[in-house]
Structure 1
Amino acid sequence: MERSVPLPLPVRAWSAWKNRGPRYAWHKVLRRTLGRWPDWKRRLLYADPREYWTLRGGQDYFREQEDHPTRTGRSEWIADRIATYRPTSILEIGCGYGKQLRAIRQRLDVPMVGLDFSPTQLGQARVYLGGLDRVDLALGTGARLPFADQSFDLVLTSAVILHNPPPIAEQIRREVMRVSRRFAAHNEDTDLSYNRYGYDTAAWYRAAGIELAECGPIPTEPDSAPTQFCVAEPCRR
């Protein structure tokens, strides 16, 4: 996909204010101006992750992600890996606008559910995934999944656990184990930033005595990128 030329900052600010209101415009200003002060950026912008991703989600975020070829490369690689496990059903926690679900659907025709706590992300997902059979979307949080134990053959998080503070990250991991039957797959960067907490998800599974089917960096990313993809087998604990 050809990358679009960004509009001048005043034009983007006015468009943000006009189309999505003052809260979104202020949110965008903070994201653009606090880069030198990550601690303040986290306090002022990321104190409530749900609000952050609700404000950030939508058409602007969709275009931002789709304009990055590396995002697509990573998504396609992850979908290839997921397909090798031949799961019979999939839950993605924090599905965003559905990029990963769409890539997986191109390889597997199994029931899939995407869950996200951001209404704007889900609204975009309904458009992006429109017309795909057996793909359901649900509003909810990974820290308290509205599903019975072992409801899904494979549960996936893609850049989700890393965006949550430690107590919530712990709840999400335990909920993943609760609702998965065979596999828990995770794509999580391990670096620290204003909205990333730098977790080593594979180390968490090893400490819990849970076997890993695979673990390693994502080869589509630069060698210096702090990426990790791992697949755990909770049923073999």
Structure 2
Amino acid sequence: MPMDTTITAEPPLPLRAWRALRTRGAGYAWHKALRRTSGRWPSWKRRLIYADPRRYWTLRGGADYFREQEGQVARTLRAEWIAGRLAAYRPTSVLEVGCGYGKLLFALRERIEAPLAGLDFSPTQLGCARGFLDGVDGVDLFLGRGDRLPFADGSFDMVVTSAVILHNPPEVADRIRREVVRVARRFAAHNEEMNLSYNRYGYDTAAWYRAEGRRIAEVGPIPVDADAQTSQFCVVRLDG
């Protein structure tokens, strides 16, 4: 069955807490409480709930996260802007690493007819993606890690990350970029913010590619982002 995309007003906090405990267990409820109450101490927030990004997104992902994100017009504007820029390169196939619940894949499908694939290491995010993209043709979804992509060299014309590499410590971020380069034939494209927070390391992705001797096709802020100064969208040409 397709996922219900209707956005309704959130119930009171005590009811939300009770639902979280009942539907997803004490671990999820505790994780959610820590996220809500530790904002004043970002360094401790990182240590307490973000030491393991895969666990974080497995707990964070799901119906609550889907409703939260779909309720933000800015998220939709960003996905549509990025999809429009990616489509301009006319890729013959696209892999999104860290596809979440499939928002960017959905926007891409509206703009290009090429085969699409999404990979995520969070089972809950991928479960939402299967519902959100139900009935959307030509989209394959895979459970896996960005730093160990289960695909052969040059499997996709374009490989994309959107707010994925920034969630990983430097050594993992480096492996993800190298896997993207390995799996992509012509283009690597990234939406990766540069600011630091409890769950963001922040990277200048374009600078990494320049240091590797790669040619930048375009780089700049995402104009529809609320904080365009820290956002970075870049496309890298890999075939010459």
TM-score by length of 1: 0.97
Residue number among 150, 156, 161 corresponding to 2:160 in the alignment: 156
Residue of structure 2 in register with 1:193 after alignment: 197
Residue of structure 2 in register with 1:65 after alignment: 69
* Preserved contact between residue 91 and residue 113 of structure 1 (Cα < 8 Å): yes
CA RMSD of aligned residues (A): 1.3
Give identity over the alignment, percent. Answer: 67
For structure 1, which segment, 93-102 or 8-17, has the greater mean C-alpha deviation from structure 2 after superposition? 8-17
User: SS where residue 235 of structure 1 aligns?
Assistant: coil
**Cα deviation, residue 8, structure 1:** 2.2
**Cα deviation, residue 158, structure 1:** 0.4
Aligned residues: 236
**Cα deviation, residue 223, structure 1:** 5.3
User: SS where residue 157 of structure 2 aligns?
Assistant: strand
Between the aligned partners of 1:69 and 1:114, the Cα distance in structure 2 is: 23
Residue of structure 2 in register with 1:47 after alignment: 51
Gaps of 5+ in 1: none
**Cα deviation, residue 2, structure 1:** 9.3
What is the identity, as a one-letter code, of the residue corresponding to 2:100? Answer: G
Between the aligned partners of 2:15 and 2:229, the Cα distance in structure 1 is: 33
**Cα deviation, residue 168, structure 1:** 0.6
* Preserved contact between residue 3 and residue 68 of structure 1 (Cα < 8 Å): no
Residue of structure 2 in register with 1:22 after alignment: 26
User: SS where residue 239 of structure 2 aligns?
Assistant: helix
What is the identity, as a one-letter code, of the residue corresponding to 1:88? Answer: T
Residue of structure 2 in register with 1:130 after alignment: 134
Between the aligned partners of 1:230 and 1:48, the Cα distance in structure 2 is: 27
Structure 1 residues 174, 12: CA separation in 2 closer, same or farther (over 3 Å shift)?
same
Between the aligned partners of 1:48 and 1:59, the Cα distance in structure 2 is: 21
Residue number among 77, 93, 97 corresponding to 1:93 in the alignment: 97
**Cα deviation, residue 113, structure 1:** 0.8
Residue of structure 1 in register with 2:207 after alignment: 203
